[in-house]
Structure 1
Amino acid sequence: MKLLLTSGGVSNPSIHDALVELLGKPIAESTALCIPTASYGHPSCTPNLAWRFVSGQSPAHLTDLGWKSVGVLELTALPSMDRERWVPWVEDADVLLVDGGDAVYLAHWMRESGFMELMPSLTDTVWVGMSAGSMVMTPRIGDDFVRWQPPSGRDDRALGIVDFSIYPHLDHEMLPDNTMANAVKWAATLSGPAYAIDDQTAFTVVDGKVDVVSEGTWKLLDRTSRVEASVAEG
């Protein structure tokens, strides 16, 4: 699977061009499935936000890019269906557009639905995540971003498809706590590489190769910055 991991969707021409390159053909010739599941696990998300995402009314451009077709794939519904019914839908899609919300909730339903079992075979499919839809691919999201607790208890682990964590929405005007200083503190609680990115930044991941695509602000929060944050707090 090819990954386009964004903070705020396809928000600028550079991210748009990266998406087209991953698809290998124009958006107008590509079929999409959108996945709103993560929004149902976050206390700040409401049904109208899920509708805005699905209908292309969201500020985060994903479903409104001019796709050949767009369908809805709700992961929580899949366990009640035969795999023979929904697997072809996924296999036939060129791209999966994955909304934000709670990444732990999304990871849980990717496992419970059987979607994770299918992922290794989707070598040409493009996964476009927004916020939690990107964070779900990381090893850990950090306790700051956990809003839903799985049946096994509080846990910040995601899927670990990539080896770095993501702090999204850096310096967002509607999220005053999402500062670089808080991102450094967040990274200090993690053991692996971590990035802080704003809504004009994304990652492409193809065959394990990671590239940053940005018209905004991003920072690799390296070991030194995390140690400094820990010492300051101590």
Structure 2
Amino acid sequence: MVKLLLTDSGVRNASILAALVDLLGKPIAEAGALCIPTAGYGGPYGDPGGPWRFSSGRSPSPMTGLGWKSVGMLELTALPGIDRERWVSWVREADALLVNGGDALYLCHWMRESGLADLFPSLRDTVYVGLSAGSMVLTPRVGRFFVGWKPPTGDDSALGVVDFSLFPHLGSPDNTMAEAERWAAEIGGPAYATDAQTAVKVTDGGVEVVSEGYWKLLNPPSPRPGGRRGRRPAR
């Protein structure tokens, strides 16, 4: 499985940065990244400025401007018109995929349509760094609270790469803990509510919350006898 760093608002602090370097296994200055701006075009608030700021490193959510050895752009809506072997080679050569926020279901649709989602099981050395919707797209469901762009399926299902859901931007005026708890009751499965200083790190070894802010695990799973649970540091 691809190694995951599911951020709320980018690499906002030293703890999240250290988690990224740990996943890469080398300094950022020695790593090449591909940024995926697609989600920024989707949903009712999508506009050309957001993807440009994300790709150019001018976003307030640090991702592409971290000092990478190289950064390229992979626009998912363009991939169906490109020879598959070409763009797959680009993905396999990248150390990290930096995935923009925006509309999670729009992003999910194009990850499937482009074929990128099919590659994830084979990208064992690649680090996937999600930002907001770029993180939520890997969960089982986003919940009706976050539905903007309506997918052809008509539901709120995402890729289900991980077995938990995410409620980002906790503490913002619209994303209160009360809203998070209502959302979690609808989602049903385990879910993390996270603020801007928080990320969730996922490897074959388990799940770890990396935070210098506030987060909460909602609908926690029941412990399995003899099972192994990922480490979740105290808040």
How does the TM-score come out when normalised to structure 2? 0.91
Detail structure 1 runs of 4+ shifted over 3 Å in the superposition.
Answer: none
Q: 2:200 aligns with which of 199, 203, 216?
A: 203
After TM superposition, give the deviation of residue 196 of structure 1 in Å: 0.6
Pick from 168, 187, 191: which aligns with 2:188?
191
Equivalent-residue separation in structure 2 for 1:103 and 1:111 (angstroms): 12
- Structure 1 gap segments, 5+ residues each: 225-234
Specify the alignment match of 2:74 in structure 1. 73
Give the partner amino acid of 2:121: P
Aligned-pair distance for 1:118?
Answer: 1.4
Q: Which amino acid aligns with 2:74?
A: L
Give the partner amino acid of 2:191: A
> 1:222 matched to which residue of 2?
219
**Amino acid across the alignment from 2:207:** V
The structure-2 alpha-carbon separation of the partners of 1:101 and 1:208, relative to structure 1 and needing over 3 Å to count, comes to farther
Deviations along 1:144-178, whole A, 9 cap, x unmatched? 1010111232x110000100000000013xxx111
| Match of residue 129 from structure 2 | 128
Which residue of structure 2 aligns with residue 95 of structure 1?
Answer: 96
Structure 1 residue 43: Cα displacement: 1.5
Write the letter of the residue equivalent to 2:85.
E
Cα distance in 1 for residues equivalent to 2:135 and 2:80: 23
What secondary structure, in the 3-state scheme, does the structure 2 residue paired with 1:188 have?
A: helix
SS in 1 for 2:129: strand
Give me the whole-angstrom Cα distance separating, in 1, the residues matched to 2:30 and 2:88. 21
Indicate the percent of aligned positions where both proteins have the same amino acid: 68
Confirm whether residue 8 of structure 1 aligns to residue 5 of structure 2: no
Q: Secondary structure of 2:88's partner? A: helix
Q: What's the Cα RMSD here?
A: 1.2
Residue by residue over 1:29-63, the C-alpha shift from the partner in whole angstroms, topping out at 9 and shown as x without a partner, is 00000000111112212101111000000000000
* CA positional deviation for 1:208: 5.6
Q: 2:191 touches 2:220 (CA, 8 Å); kept in 1? A: no
Paired amino acid for 2:178: A
Alpha-carbon separation, structure 1, partners of 2:134 and 2:25:
22
Residue identity in the other structure for 2:17: H
Distance in structure 2 (CA, Å) of the matches to 1:116 and 1:106: 11
Q: Tell me what 1:230 maps to.
A: none
C-alpha distance in structure 2 between counterparts of 1:57 and 1:83, whole Å? 30
Aligned to 2:46: 45
What CA distance in whole angstroms lies between the structure 2 residues aligned with 1:117 and 1:167? Answer: 25
Aligned to 1:116: 117
CA contact (8 A) 2:79 2:87 kept: yes
Give the aligned partner of residue 164 of structure 2.
164
Q: Do 2:138 and 2:160's aligned partners in 1 also have CA atoms closer than 8 Å?
A: yes
CA distance in 2, matches of 1:208, 1:184: 28
Matches of 1:222 and 1:88, distance apart in 2: 40
Comparing 91-100 and 199-208, the one that deviates more: 199-208
Query: Where in structure 2 are the equivalents of 1:144-155 lying within 5 Å?
Result: 144-153=145-154, 155=155
> Structure 1 length as normaliser, TM-score?
0.92
